[in-house]
A and B are shown apart, each in its own frame.
Chain A
Amino acid sequence: VALPPLDSPQWNSSWLAFGWGLRSVTQTILTLVLFATYLGIGALAHDTHFSLLWALCSTLFVWAGPAQIILISTLGTGGTVVQAAIAVTLSAIRLFPMVVALMRTPTTKRRELFFAAHLTAVTLWVECHRFLPLVPRERRIAFVNGLGFGLVSVCLTANTVGYFLAANLTQTLGAAILMLTPLSFLFSTARNSREAADVVALALGVLLYPLAAKMNSGVDILVSGLAAGTIAYGVHWWREVRA
């Protein structure tokens, strides 16, 4: 189903726009990518001994795949709450400029944007760039709410399925599902790398972690992340200055 034209009566109410947002979930390949990622997060939560309710709450209230996997992996391997909190907050700063840009829509009130701000995450962001030009300006918030609501529902379903699969499948198949999330993040980050600094941050981040883990400092993930990220920023700075 294609979206109705901008002047269609199909856009006459907020609820209709919410419905079109909800239906647009079926119009993007990213829904499948999210499903696979959250299937993996459900399975990962199971194998690191978190409850299903915990996994669902993390999807509902954190609603950011990278933060969730950082949380599960750090806490699941015995990391401290403080280390997990710092790692999550560093990963979440990305959301800040997205919400700021969302606020650029003039004449909208802050409370109307509250729900949309919570739903703001990378996938939704990418989809907004694609869909919003096709949506009348005054119906965009309702549309985004519908799209976000649909994506959250897909991910909660995927979490539940992944959790039960991990509980019931043979070890080999269970292992395959556990690989879904790291692989999907690796590929999507690699694909979204636009400049050299992104590639350096990704590659060095992967390579430095095993080294940092040897130090066994209790904040390994922060050590490798800060080091690799700062070197990547150095590369960015060097290229900018020379340009």
Chain B
Amino acid sequence: MSYAQLIGDWQALVVLFVAGVVPNQIWRMLGLWFGGGIDEGSELLVWVRAIATAILAGVIAQIVVEPPGALASVPDTLRYGAVGAGLVVFLG
């Protein structure tokens, strides 16, 4: 395994912090800051939670529809079939 694979470049780590760590961590820190003064069951949070679920669902679809790396070598029908069969077994 090469240095690039193990460590990579620092720009990618900066992107990780700007696009991943800060946008995520800010909510934990805000929760810590505001403490008990917030209505956690508010309608706004219901809406946001629905959007969060839908974004995650979209990314799941993205990985299956536009597969990265090794997954791209698997035929479409097999990928969709795997998801469908999994759901049937899981929910059945």
Q: Which residues of A contact B (CB under 8 A)?
A: 44, 46-48, 50-54, 57-58, 61-62, 64, 66-71, 73-77, 81-82, 84-104, 110, 113-114, 117-118, 120, 164, 166-167, 169, 171-172, 174-175, 178-179, 181-183, 185-187, 189-191, 197-198, 200-210, 212-213, 220-222, 224-230, 232-233, 236-237
Contacts and interface: CB of A to CB of B under 8 A. Distances in A.
A233 B46 contact: yes
Contact of B6 (A51, A76, A227): A51
A105 B22 CA distance: 26
A96 B41 CA distance: 11
B57 A206 contact: yes
Interface of B: 1, 4-9, 12-13, 15-32, 34-36, 38, 40-41, 43, 45-71, 73-74, 79, 82-83, 86-87, 90-91
A89 B23 contact: yes
B20 A100 contact: no
A4 B40 CA distance: 33
Contacts of A44: 63, 68
A87 B20 CA distance: 9
A228 to B, nearest CB: 4
A94 B26 CA distance: 12
B70 A67 contact: no
A91 B55 contact: yes
Contact of A89 (B26, B64, B71, B90): B26
Nearest to B42: A97
17 contacts: A47-B68, A47-B71, A58-B16, A77-B62, A85-B23, A89-B27, A90-B48, A97-B45, A102-B31, A118-B25, A179-B71, A187-B87, A204-B57, A205-B61, A213-B65, A225-B54, A226-B51
Contacts of A178: 63, 67-71
